[in-house]
Amino acid sequence: MNTELFGVVAILFLTFILAWPLGKYISKVFKGEKVWSDFLSPLENWVLRICSIDPNESMDWKRNMKAMLRLNLIFFLWSILILMIQKYIPIWNPANIGNMEATLAYNTATSFTSNTNLQHYSGETGLSYFSQLLVICFLQFVSAGTGIATLALLFKGLVQKQAADLGNFYHLFLKSCTRILLPLSIVVAIIFLLNGMPTTFAGLQEVQTLEGDTVQVATGPVAPVIAIKQLGTNGGGFFGPNCAHPFENANYLTNISANISILLIPVALVFAFGFYLNRKKLAWIFFGVMTIVFLTFVSSAATFESSGNPEIAKLGISQPPGSMEGKEVRFGAAASALWGVSTTSTSNGSVNSMHDSQTPFSGGIFLLDMMINAVYGGVGVGFINFFMFVVIAVFIGGLMIGRTPEFLGKKIEAREVKIASLVILLHPFLILVGTAIAAFTAAIEPAIGWLNNPSYHGFSEMLYEFTSASANNGSGFEGLADNTPFWNIACGTVMLLGRYLPIIGPIALAGSLAAKKSVPFSSGSLKVDSLAFGVVLLGVLVVIAALSFFPALTLGPIAEFFSM
């Protein structure tokens, strides 16, 4: 156990140490300052030239949003087409994988375009190598690049003094892929490759087991796919068991590297905010609020998983390793708990243990993590979601002390508060309405066969699925039979709404703030880079999550916890 805890501490320490210089580098990339990766400029200019895009063209928030939606629509149509005809593509399909059924193809294309990577299929049996690389791996780059570029627009809007110039989405998107995601992915892929992660285009491998049996084992170009999967907070597994599979997570070193990769860019983007706006103290306040929630969740989940399952303890059976159902012995209970909190905090969604097998309290923590959807969060969009809570906290803080609600010299007025409120309320609306419809359908049609677990846990499985879809997370309680037309279409629709509406709202808000005149800081202004504001912001996060989701959590993981 001491070794496991040391690994947990090492992962967090290395993440936070690496995130600071990475955040500084990302800020320079956004600003167009000189960086070591400038040698990629000729390649970027060539891409922009053949696409007839002027990188220096100024665009307001509406044009930037249209560019983002147009580009993502092209990615979606490309992916759904390939998935539905992959059987007929003559290359990189040695196992002769068939075409995807229409609703499953819609769900998968929506999932990976929206950076959710929720999988209603098993990777090695559902996709050809062509689809793994030209759809899945490709979308893992561009969906993450979309989030980072959108955050860059928000940063520009917060410092800009005119709404007509929020930057150029196409240029920021390309830089996000070439200057941030690609170099990091190469480094992480090499680490994975050197630790035995497969990278091959050969088909099924014939292997003789220790018992003397001969089995066919799936491999493929795994290392490069897993690298961007983790760094881009994507999470889609090359194999069905995801990072619990030894080919996706070979040993404890790859487990540490992958967990750091999950957290690295989301944390770095918080520091990038401080460097870009020259408000480092405020960035530390934001980082502190997120980290308090994160460490609270990690310590709680690790404690419960390491303590074992109370139902097994009632039988008089000792559990020195902790609750090990659904976990890899190679990693243990504590490392599995850390991964679970990391992957749900960052909208990553990959797993190195089965979340459905976690104790009820830990499962509830994973749910709450996604329900808040702003603790580090997915690359780019996590900070965007967090910014909506900042706007509400600024407004409430100003009212509490009788000062003008201002943020970075811009007045927070009714329009900004309405936008932030609508974005925040959309999340519980999608989750709770979707879960209610699913629960009602399962109750009146029990023969439909969705649920393999009754009562509280069955409700938790449905709640988790819609929470994961709305938070663009992608993990799941796998006791749910989710590859059905209902779940494919319902989750696909929730993923689209949960991805793009929360992006459009904040950038509209940034455009609104950019159009306002700066107000000089005075004794009547709200000081946001203070400990007091950090406490208010933390309270807003907790209270909104509690009011929105406590009744649903009571019916699921909380009721299951007290029934044990």
User: If we measure between CA atoms, which residue out of 117, 109, 111, 136 comes closest to residue 348?
Assistant: 117
The kind and range of the H/E element at 191 are helix 182-194
Residue 471 has φ and ψ, to the nearest 5°, of -85, 5
The ranges assigned to domains in the chain are 2-563
Q: What does the pLDDT average to over 137-148?
A: 95
Q: What is the pLDDT of residue 383?
A: 93
Tokens of 90: 């003559």
Which pLDDT score, from 0 to 100, does residue 3 have?
A: 67
Contact 542, 368 (CB under 8 A): no
* pLDDT tens-digit map of 46-91: 999 999 999 888 888 899 999 999 999 999 999 999 999 999 999 8
β pairing state of 410-411 and 214-217: unpaired
Answer whether residue 150 shows pLDDT above 70. yes
Give pLDDT tens digits for 267-301: 999 999 999 999 999 999 999 999 999 999 999 99
Residue 531 token pair: 């400990």
E-strand ranges in 286-408 read 406-407
* Residue 541: predicted pLDDT: 92
Positive or negative torsion for Cα 509, 510, 514, 520? positive
What digits encode the pLDDT tens for the residues 308-347? 888 888 888 878 888 888 898 889 899 999 999 999 999 9
Q: Which residues pair with 411 in a beta bridge?
A: 406
Q: Average pLDDT over the chain, rounded to whole?
A: 90
- Whole-prediction pTM value? 0.94
Our measurement of the distance from residue 433's CA atom to the centroid of its chain's CA atoms, rounded to an integer in Å, reads 22
Sign of the torsion formed by the C-alpha atoms of 303, 352, 356 and 346: positive
* pLDDT at residue 130, as a whole number: 93
For a pLDDT cut of 90, what percent of the chain falls above it? 66
What single-letter DSSP state applies at residue 205? Answer: E
Instruction: Please give the structure tokens belonging to residue 6.
Output: 């040391």
- Do 242 and 352 meet the contact criterion of CB atoms below 8 Å apart? yes
Question: Looking at the predicted structure, is the pLDDT value of residue 208 above 80?
Answer: no
Place of tokens 């459009």: 504
CA-closest candidate to residue 283, choices 59, 97, 7, 19: 19
Q: Which residues contact 312 (CB under 8 A, 6 or more apart)?
A: 319, 323
The tokens for 39 are 């040698």
522 pLDDT higher than 70 = no
CA 482 to chain centre: 20
What's the pLDDT tens digit per position in 171-196?
Answer: 999 999 999 999 999 999 999 999 98
Contact (CB, 8 A) for 465 and 439:
no
- Strand, coil or helix: 118: coil
Share of the chain above pLDDT 70, in %: 98
353: which 2 tokens? Answer: 């243990």
Only one residue has tokens 């005809």, namely: 85
Q: How far apart are CA 371 and CA 394, in angstroms?
A: 21
* pLDDT tens column, 243-260: 999 999 989 899 999 999
404-463 per-position pLDDT tens digit:
788 888 888 888 999 999 999 999 999 999 999 999 998 888 778 788 887 899 999 999
Q: Give the model's pLDDT for residue 155.
A: 92
Position 488 scores a pLDDT of 95
State the pLDDT confidence band at 203, using cuts at 50, 70 and 90.
confident
CA pseudo-torsion sign 321, 323, 327, 331:
negative
235 pLDDT band, cuts 50/70/90, is: confident
CB–CB of 119/350 below 8 Å?
Answer: no
Looking from the CA of 252 toward its CB, the CA atoms found within 13 Å total 14
What is the pLDDT at residue 523?
66
Question: Tokens at residue 105, please?
Answer: 């193809």
